[in-house]
Amino acid sequence: MSAPAIRAATGADRAFLTDMLVEAVNWHSGRALTCAEILANPALAHYVAGWPGPAEAGVIAERVIAERGATRLGAAWYRFLPPGDPGYGFVAADIPELTIGVVPDHRHRGIGRHLLRALIDTARQAGLRHLSLSVERANHAQALYRELGFTVIASSTGADTMLLAFT
């Protein structure tokens, strides 16, 4: 499969980011939280509520077919969450936490890698020094995060907080 088109996400993409948050939360086939359940949970809803805030960014992967237009394949974005309402991968108020989701029919095709590389480039260009994330240890995506330079800086039951420091 050829590389997808990557474009900047905007506030108009918030519904799609919400769909991708649902995919991120339900990465394991044994979990099936609905969008309503996720949005009713403040610990999850804050990843999309009011996005984008100041200095927040995201990217969308699309496959563009002339006759049909663009099909969205996935999204990655980062948020600055405050210490009083931290995310699962919270490190510090000045370190944004990223979220990534890929449409199920397009997983295992390199879409996540393209999204992460584009988001990392976006963060660097914005002058950020770090990105963080939280990943459950059983999630195979942890290998991709390590490959791209993220390192485990904290662990809790079943999950790790990872940090990418830009050099």
Q: Report if residue 107 sits inside a domain.
A: yes
62 and 75 in contact (C-beta within 8 Å)?
Answer: no
CA torsion, points 162, 92, 19, 53, in degrees to nearest 10? -150
User: What is the count of structural domains for the chain?
Assistant: 1
- pLDDT tens-digit readout, 14-62: 999 999 999 999 887 677 888 999 999 999 999 999 999 999 999 999 9
Range of the domain at 51: 5-128
Using the predicted structure, report yes or no on whether residue 114 has a pLDDT greater than 80: yes
- Taking the whole predicted model, whether its pTM rises above 0.75 is answered as yes
Overall average pLDDT of the 68-74 stretch = 81
Q: Report if residue 99 sits inside a domain.
A: yes
Q: Report if residue 62 sits inside a domain.
A: yes
Q: Report if residue 153 sits inside a domain.
A: no
> For residue 27, what is the domain's CATH number?
3.40.630.30
Q: Report if residue 158 sits inside a domain.
A: no
- pLDDT tens-digit readout, 120-154: 999 999 999 999 999 998 888 999 999 999 999 99
Q: Report if residue 146 sits inside a domain.
A: no
- pLDDT tens-digit readout, 88-108: 999 999 999 999 998 888 777
The pair of three-digit structure tokens given for residue 86, joined into one six-digit string:
């931290």
